[in-house]
């Protein structure tokens, strides 16, 4: 689901929390070694996600935030902030070399990692571990 996050809407925050859980506390983020990716370049995707990205020739970037039950892929278009909210049970991940493909239902996003390989590997390991733990626990909606 793609949401416009530019405005402080309590109902929207509650809906997102219901899908992917509350944000990690400062202590949890510290223990995890961070819960967000660095800037990732968007190189492709479906028309719904690409419509939320700038089309004026600027570099299309996004970041991924880990939550207990899913991820939020955040990106900007002008002054608007969008979030693609994906629960772990809907998330499919493919990767090769320095690209990462995320699929959830009808939506897909293809990302390119920057050259900092170790940080990317650590983040991807955290993502895969959290996803596996959530799916193994059997606590799907």
pTM of the model: 0.90
How deeply is 2 buried, as exposed, middle or buried, from its count of CB atoms within 10 A (0-12, 13-18, 19+)?
A: middle
Collapsing DSSP to helix, strand or coil, 6 comes out as coil
The Cα 137–Cα 132 span in angstroms is: 8
The Cα 22–Cα 68 span in angstroms is: 7
Residue 121: the pLDDT is 82
pLDDT tens column, 47-95: 988 888 888 877 889 999 999 999 999 998 888 999 999 999 999 999 8
Domains of the chain are 2-137 (2.30.29.30)
Complete DSSP assignment for 21-50: -PPPPHHHHHHHT-SB---EEEEEE-HHHH
């Amino acid at each position: 689901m793609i949401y416009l996050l530019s405005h402080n809407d309590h109902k929207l925050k509650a809906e997102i929390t219901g899908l992917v859980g509350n944000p990690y506390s400062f202590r949890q983020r510290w223990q995890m070694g961070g819960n967000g990716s660095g800037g990732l370049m968007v190189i492709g995707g479906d028309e719904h996600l690409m419509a939320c990205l700038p089309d004026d020739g600027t570099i299309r970037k996004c970041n991924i935030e880990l939550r207990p039950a899913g991820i939020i892929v955040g990106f900007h278009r002008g002054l608007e902030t969008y979030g693609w909210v994906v629960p772990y049970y809907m998330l499919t991940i493919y990767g090769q070399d320095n690209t990462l493909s995320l699929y959830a239902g009808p939506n897909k996003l293809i990302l390119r990692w920057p050259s900092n390989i170790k940080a990317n590997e650590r983040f991807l390991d955290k993502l895969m571990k959290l996803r596996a733990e959530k799916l193994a626990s059997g606590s799907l909606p």
